Amino acid sequence: MPSATLIPSLYGGRRPATPAQTNLTGNRLPSGPPPLRFVSRAPPRIRWGRMGAVRTIDDHLREVTALLAPLAARLEAETLPVSGAAIATDPARYAHRVLAADLVSPSALPAFDNSQMDGYAVVAAELTGATEAAPVRLAVAPRIAAGDPGATHRSGTATPVMTGAPVPQGADAVVQIERAIPSRFPADGETATVSFAAAVAPGTFVRPAGSDVAAGELLLAAGSELRGPQYGVIAGTGATEIEVRRRPRVLLVSTGHEIRDAGTALAPGQIYDANTVALTVALQAAGCAVTPLPCRSDDASDLLGLLAEHAADHDLLVTVGGVSAGVREVVRDALGPRGVAFMKVAMQPGGPQGFGMLRLDDEEGAPVALPAVCLPGNPVSALVSFEAFLRPALRSAQGLTAPLRELRSAPAAHPFDSPPTHHQLRRGVLNDQGALELVGGPSSHLLHSYATSTVLVHVPVGVTTVAAGDRLDYWRIDG
């Protein structure tokens, strides 16, 4: 079985952050202990290559997280009604929401002591000494069903109670109907007695009031991600509305003059746009409201025109493509002179990256500052970069208590080589033996391989050869 290692650092950084550190855009990094720190995770049987000075995944994640951190203050609370009808009517409104403030339970769950079984409520002390040879016989009291008001228990009786029914005051245990003699409830109006051939411990099959959550107790902490169970327990306490964080509004601009929408005819050399769709879904799953506006031009002025029109309505710009070393790199050309830095992370895929506080004028000439994260255009590079940097940074900015995916480790199913100068994030699946099988090669155009994978497998910087059985870190990407 794969072992779980719930540590914050995924990848291993090379230098600790100091309180005075600033990032590439001049923003001061948070002081105190860095949230993501170097943890040596060298598996013993992996051969290590030479380590150069590299920008690690942790280094880059720390800076992207710092860039997005001020978003938190802008994501004010909004009220969300909670009901099955509201959720069924507008499911998108309820997906991937984050609680804005601690939620205190308005009532106790369960609200009253109730029965966990269909059976007889009794006073346990009255069954002391009951045996098959000498059963204890009690008169049957009027039946209590779920939804009936509570009753007061009379000594010397056993009260038929159904699952969820209030246990009558004074009774302290429930005996399942199967253990009663006879093992069926008397008919309506029938005067009867019931016998018990064994003692019962006090508290048996009684669900005490407040045993799940007490009134006034913390129900869910600020930063909780709301899924079915969370909405369920909120409704169960009787709460009808909650405060959630406003979604970050993300302007998603995939670039490239050769890119076209599916459904249109392609000229030679053109390709369909996979990145806009994949990243729209990925950003939505990270809680964002996404505006996908592709830029089908490699001309920086076209991109700047699009940004001038839409920047002010958004909290974050995510671009895809146009960041490497070609003749015209539209994102570099347009954003480089306006506050965004471009660099290489020692990671494959996802080497070329950009981020910073973009400063430009809107259509009316008013200055706008917008955090920008610029991902490389190869589809696998874009998605892996999203996983490694943007997803955790966005989740941190929304105050989520667990911004990172759970990191686990498992043995490699087969041997493979790795470039020692780069972290590798290979795509793979866990096989039936719990070992990691790679899917496809390392190249970053292999989107189908990514789409049929369920995990990202991390091979650290310095590793040249992985043998079958070497333990590697991985995290799931299928949820």
Ligand X SMILES: Nc1nc2c(c(=O)[nH]1)N[C@H]1C(S)=C(S)[C@@H](COP(=O)(O)OP(=O)(O)OC[C@H]3O[C@@H](n4cnc5c(N)ncnc54)[C@H](O)[C@@H]3O)O[C@H]1N2
Q: What residue ranges bind ligand X (CB under 6 A)?
A: 254, 256, 258-259, 271, 273-276, 321-326, 329, 349, 351-352, 376-379, 381, 444
> Is residue 64 within 8 Å of 35, Cβ to Cβ?
no
Q: Which two tokens stand for residue 270?
A: 């053109």
Q: Which two tokens stand for residue 38?
A: 């170097």
Which range, of 120-128, 205-213, 297-305, 348-356, touches ligand MOO by CB under 6 A?
348-356
- The CB density around residue 83, as the number of other CB atoms within 10 Å, is 12
User: What is the SS3 assignment for 85?
Assistant: helix
> Is residue 168 within 8 Å of 189, Cβ to Cβ?
no
Q: Kindly give the residue spans of alpha helices, DSSP state H, lying in 69-149.
A: 71-74, 84-89, 91-94
Query: Least CB distance from residue 386 to ligand X, whole Å?
Result: 13
Give the residue from 358, 354, 346 showing the smallest Cα distance to 419. 346
User: Number of residues in contact with ligand MOO, rule: CB under 6 A?
Assistant: 8
Cis peptide before 182 (omega within 30 of 0): yes
Query: Least CB distance from residue 296 to ligand X, whole Å?
Result: 10
Q: Is 256 in the site for ligand MOO (CB under 6 A)?
A: no
Q: Which two tokens stand for residue 377?
A: 């255009």
Nearer to ligand X (CB atom), residue 274 or residue 311: 274
Tell me, rounded to whole angstroms, the distance of Cα 224 from its chain centroid: 9
Alpha-carbon distance 479 to 475, whole Å? 11
> Is residue 324 within 8 Å of 336, Cβ to Cβ?
no
Q: With CB cut-offs between 5 and 8 Å by kind, which of ligand X, ligand MOO, none does residue 371 bind? A: none
Q: With CB cut-offs between 5 and 8 Å by kind, which of ligand X, ligand MOO, none does residue 449 bind? A: none
Site for ligand MOO in 360-389 (CB under 6 A): 376, 378, 381
Query: Least CB distance from residue 348 to ligand MOO, whole Å?
Result: 5
Q: With CB cut-offs between 5 and 8 Å by kind, which of ligand X, ligand MOO, none does residue 273 bind? A: ligand X
Site for ligand MOO in 405-464 (CB under 6 A): 444
Nearer to ligand MOO (CB atom), residue 159 or residue 378: 378
Query: Least CB distance from residue 296 to ligand MOO, whole Å?
Result: 22
Query: Least CB distance from residue 225 to ligand MOO, whole Å?
Result: 29
Nearer to ligand MOO (CB atom), residue 350 or residue 399: 350
Query: Least CB distance from residue 382 to ligand MOO, whole Å?
Result: 8
Q: With CB cut-offs between 5 and 8 Å by kind, which of ligand X, ligand MOO, none does residue 65 bind? A: none
Nearer to ligand MOO (CB atom), residue 350 or residue 420: 350
Q: What is the 3-state secondary structure (H, E, C) of 319-335?
A: EECCCCCCCCCHHHHHH
Residues 6+ apart with CB under 8 A from 21: 28, 29
Query: Least CB distance from residue 444 to ligand MOO, whole Å?
Result: 3
User: What is the SS3 assignment for 354?
Assistant: strand
> Is residue 439 within 8 Å of 428, Cβ to Cβ?
yes
Q: Which residues bind ligand MOO (CB under 6 A)?
A: 348-351, 376, 378, 381, 444
